[in-house]
A and B are shown apart, each in its own frame.
Chain A
């Protein structure tokens, strides 16, 4: 599975959009981009995933560049409860279901 690179930390003002970048320059054609987050002392929570196209759900939007070498997770209106570590994970589809978690980005939403 491809390796990802994320900034260790970011700040965002409450009510503003939070844009979390992820580089995955060695991604292959059958690998998906997943985003999970982990709020302090809780289990990781699935946010969104995509293959090629941009995706949106009730939590966030995922923007994947055309060459698929990077992506951005967008939380449109960040709240204090969005303070968490955000993990970008690249994983093949198919039979294997393992997730390889890196160190993620600590997003601190400021009041």
Chain B
């Protein structure tokens, strides 16, 4: 069955280190998204991509970057991890071109920055 996976599921890192969170989907979806979820804020969009070589900033993109070299993967990089980036990160994907598409979410990565 097609799916969307994230790795690692849990990560502890230190302030200032570079961290990359992986997201892989096997639906062949064009659209991919990264969200973070914090208590009191719900889910907030970090970056998104509508296809290979396309990336866009979301509402909380500072300190994060993404790259899209193929359809299946959208890795999220924290350039220099900060304690404020301790959060649960969700990746999602959706099909392109439909008037009212739905997003399918991965299981999440819990990141702790010490």
Contact = CB atoms under 8 A, between A and B. Distances in A.
Interface of A: 32, 34, 41-46, 49, 51, 87, 93-95, 97-104
A42 B42 contact: no
Interface string B88-114: 001010100001111111111000000
Interface of B: 31, 33, 35, 42-45, 48, 50, 58, 90, 92, 94, 99-108
Majority SS of interface residues in chain A? loop
B108 A97 contact: no
A40 to B, nearest CB: 11
B102 A103 contact: no
Contact of A44 (B90, B99, B100): B90
A97 B106 contact: no
B102 A49 contact: yes
Nearest to B6: A43
B33 A45 contact: no
8 contacts: A41-B108, A43-B90, A43-B106, A97-B50, A97-B94, A98-B45, A101-B42, A103-B42
